Amino acid sequence: MSGQPNLLEKIVAFVDERVGLKTIQAKMLNEPVPGGSRWAYVFGSVLLFIFIMQAVTGILLMFYYVPSADHAYASTQYIIHEVDYGWFLLSYHFWGSSAMVVMVFAHMSQVFLWGAYKSPREMIWLVGLALFGIVMAFGFTGYLLPWDQRAYWATTVGVEIMDKTPIVGDFMARFLKGGATPGQMTLSRFFVIHVMILPAMLMGLAGLHIFLFRKAGPAGPFRGTADELKAKTDYFFPRQVWKDMVAMAAVFVTICSLAFIEPVVLLEEATPDPGDYHPEPEWYFLFLFQLLRLKIFSGEFGQFLGAIAIPGAFMALLAALPFIDRNPERNIFKRPVALIGWILVMTGILVFTVSAIINREFLD
Amino acid sequence: MHQPRLKSKVRCTDREVGEITHVIVDPLSREVSHIVVGGNGAAGRQVPMSEVQSVAENLVQLRSASSALAQFPPLKRDEFVTTHEVEIAHLEDHLHVEAGEVLVPLPSLERNVPRRTFFTNLTHAIGALVALPMAFPVLKYLMKPMYSPFDNAWLKIGNVSRIKADDVGVQFKYKKKVKEAFMPEAEVDKNVWILKASPAVLEDVYKGKDMEFHDQNGQLVWTNKKDVPYVVFSGKCPHLGCGYKWRKVPKLGKEIFLCPCHLSIYDPAGKVLDGPAPRPLDPLPIRVDAGGNIQIIDMEFKAGTKAQTRIV
């Protein structure tokens, strides 16, 4: 009976006839990559992988975590010290968030350097910027949930910074905190934002991001004639998928290793008296934190400048980028302003982050 | 020039050679690159578009003679995929290769265009009718804990006997009971800095005037007399709300208040010596009884502003 389909094949054929699985699968995998697959293109897929793992570990953490001011700290300690592998899942979630931020920077840099934000891909870039904001908001809201001193003070200072927005700042800060000072209401709000609102926004916008990407098609390399590109073109599957898988595995091993080497340890339970603790945000906000130590950002206006105006103007510049930069040239070596700008921003972030770390010693 | 259509007859210079069986598209330019000429059971030949002289409604004229057709490579079907199986962005904007437009009749009930517009508008109106009445309740629901009355209770926080020297910041830690919304009453740790001020420092703090503290409706709550030497500063840094410390700074050769967050430095009178803080430290209401017991009102002020705005 070799010619007869078996039961499994019959089921697959039944579903395929009604859903069109094979067509969908073919459409997903047969995406022409102009100029061929590259390691430089892995970051988007890696981000999707990290997000899925954050969702999985985050859901698992919620089995024990209680978002209340009198139980958040104890339940997190319980996850770390009592629940089997709780320390690992929590540490994976913690380091996963850092990996997310690193990969977002890598992804944005790649798109920027390759000139892939240019027409007709402006919308993909804009949605990507919104996703960047969501990733940072994830980091900020998630940081409060363990309810230790580090969490409490990062939130206190972070929300005070938001408070400096003209006109709506006070309302926004009180709205987020659920009052004048951080407390139970803040924890409830950050929790619902972190586990419901941001994931929903991220899933929706990431879907739109990928949809727009598939609609415009990959930009491909920034040099090479049409014939050269055509000769090297392959499909998303299997070569690019293979490269993506290797990158995901490398990121997975790195996050696991960090979770083992440097597992999450909580400080004292959150309270409005910092004791000996020197408040500091998570490392990817350090440069902003250090920026606000500068003399030019002192006083009420200086603070507005450093905390709101400059970061806001920078984000606005990024959003306007594809509309300002209408030159179709994509080769980064023929775009000196873009190249120097990127180097300056990255160096600036690096210098401010390192000086914030050096400053720690001066404080102890 | 028209785009070649499937099933069109194909003519060479001398005679008709068959019909178009496939159309091949370049995925990068998204233009038709080849037509496949076949029919009569013969294997199709891939003819590049450069060989096509003209395209009429149902006829494609080639430049070459029928004898030259054999030089074009035969179609190897497994070297190609259909456009159903591959995603070519904006393919439909470039290609019109269908044998003809595919039409479906609009149901006769749907042909009244003004009515369709009316229903579109009605849908939006009903959507707005559902959303608008929700907006205010939802906003009020979320705003419930945002503004609460100030707490003007006096708290006992310690005794002045702990203060050994003038103009030296001494930290007093205390527990404050908080009752937030539905939560059981809880205690949080707080701290203030108290110093016994020398006349010069006292003058710096009070500038020769009594200091008044008000409730949110502007009502006077308490007045710190300018000649009471005990000064209490809120433990919250007026820059961005961190907790500051009393520190010896070797470079300055004296002791000052230092906030480790953004490195604001204040003198014993709370005046900003260096760093980003926009205003001096915030004095709080203090009263000291005959036995030296200190009581304060635990107020908080908005950080980061030049003006002092009470928020707790």
Predicted local confidence at residue B246, as pLDDT: 93
- C-alpha distances in Å from residue A98, one per residue of A50, A252, A258, A359, B86: 10, 12, 11, 22, 36
Rounded to 5 degrees, what angle do the CA atoms B10, B15, B18 make? Answer: 35
Residue B101 pLDDT: 55
Please count the residue pairs, one from chain A and one from chain B, whose beta carbons lie less than 8 angstroms apart.
153
One-letter amino acid of A204:
G
Q: Which residues pair with B22 in a beta bridge?
A: B36
The 10s digit of each residue's pLDDT in B237-256 is 999 999 999 988 777 778 99
Rounded to 5 degrees, φ, ψ at B74 are -70, 155
CATH 3.90.50.10 maps onto chain B at 9-94
Closest by Cα among A187, A170, A230 to A34: A230
B262 CA: distance to closest CA in chain A (Å): 5
Find residue B286's DSSP bridge partners. Answer: B296
- Give residue-wise pLDDT tens across range A8-58: 999 999 999 999 888 888 888 988 898 999 999 999 999 999 999 999 999
User: What CATH number should be reported for the domain whose range is B154-297?
Assistant: 2.102.10.10
Rounded to whole angstroms, the Cα distance separating B23 from B60 reads: 13
Residues of chain B found within 8 Å of residue A181, distances taken between Cβ atoms: 300, 311-312
pLDDT at B84: 79
Interface list for B 72-131 with A (CB within 8 A): 81, 84-90
B21-37: burial string, b at 16+ Cβ within 10 Å, e else: bbbebebbebebbbbbb
Cβ of residue A293 closer than 8 Å to a chain B Cβ? yes
Give the distance, in angstroms, between the CA of residue A185 and the centroid of all CA atoms in the same chain.
Answer: 26
* Cβ–Cβ below 8 Å for B262 and A292: yes
pLDDT (0 to 100) of residue A195: 98
A285-289, A310-314, B66-70: which has the minimum mean pLDDT?
A: B66-70
Tell me if A124 is assigned to some domain. Answer: yes
Which of A175, A177, A240, A271 would you mutate first to test chain B, the one with the most B CBs within 10 A?
A: A271
Rounded distance, CA A193 to CA A203, Å?
Answer: 14
Beta carbons of A92 and A255 less than 8 angstroms apart: yes
- A217 vs B: CB within 8 A: yes
Using alpha carbons, select from A171, A193, A200 the residue that is nearest to residue A67: A193
Decide: helix, strand or coil at residue A64: coil
The β-bridge partners of A301 are none
Distance CA B160, CA B169 (A): 12
Q: 């996050």: which residue's tokens?
A: A255
- Chain A CB contacts of B175 under 8 Å are none
Say if the ipTM goes beyond 0.95.
Answer: no
Percent of chain B at pLDDT above 90?
62
Q: What is the dihedral of CA B232, B181, A278, B303, to 10 degrees?
A: -60
Interface test with A, best of B25, B28, B308 (most A CBs within 10 A): B28
With CB atoms and an 8 Å threshold, state whether A279 touches B81. no
Q: Would you say B302 and A319 are in contact if contact means Cβ atoms under 8 Å apart? A: no
Distance from CA of A283 to the nearest CA of B (A): 14
Task: Check: CB of residue B294 under 8 Å from CB of residue B230.
Answer: yes
A299 touches chain B (CB under 8 A): yes
Mutate to test the interface with B, among A228, A268, A300 (most CBs of B within 10 A): A300
Helix boundaries (H) for B63-164: 91-94, 113-143
Cβ contact, residue pair B190, A185, below 8 Å: no
Domain of A285: which CATH number?
1.20.810.10
How far is it between the farthest Cα atoms of chain B? 124
Please, which residues 128-157 of chain A have a Cβ atom closer than 8 Å to chain B? 153, 156-157
B139 touches A: beta carbon within 8 Å: no
Task: Give ranges for CATH 2.102.10.10 in chain B.
Answer: 154-297
For the segment B3-57, what is each residue's pLDDT rounded down to a tens digit?
888 888 999 998 898 899 888 988 777 888 899 998 766 678 999 999 999 988 8
Phi then psi dihedrals of residue B148, to 5 deg: -125, 155
Confidence (pLDDT) at B244: 94
Contacts of A161 in chain B (CB under 8 A): 240
H/E segment holding residue B296: strand B293-297
Instruction: Name residue A279's amino acid.
Output: P
Residue B258 CA to residue B243 CA, distance in Å, equals 9
Residue B86 has a pLDDT of 82
Per CATH, domain B9-94 is 3.90.50.10: yes
**Taking CB atoms and an 8 Å cutoff, what residues of chain A touch B235?**
272-273
Exposed/middle/buried for B44, CB within 10 Å: 0-12, 13-18, 19+? buried
Question: Is there a contact between B240 and A363 if contact means CB atoms under 8 Å apart?
Answer: no
Token pair for residue A7?
Answer: 């039961």
**What's the average model confidence in pLDDT over A167-184?**
94
Pairwise CB contact (< 8 Å): A184 & B86: no
Per DSSP, the three-state class of B297 is strand
Instruction: Work out whether strand B59-62 and strand B9-11 pair parallel, antiparallel, or are unpaired.
Output: parallel
What is the token pair recorded at A172? 């926004």
- Residues near B122 by Cβ (< 8 Å), separated by ≥ 6? none
- The total domain count for chain A is 1
Phi and psi dihedrals of B291, rounded to 5? -80, 0
b (16+ CB within 10 A) / e for B94-108? ebebeeeeeeeeeee
Q: Give the residue numbers spanning the domain of A229.
A: 31-363
Under DSSP, the state recorded for B98 is S
Of B90, B145, B240, the CB nearest to A160: B240
pTM of the model: 0.89
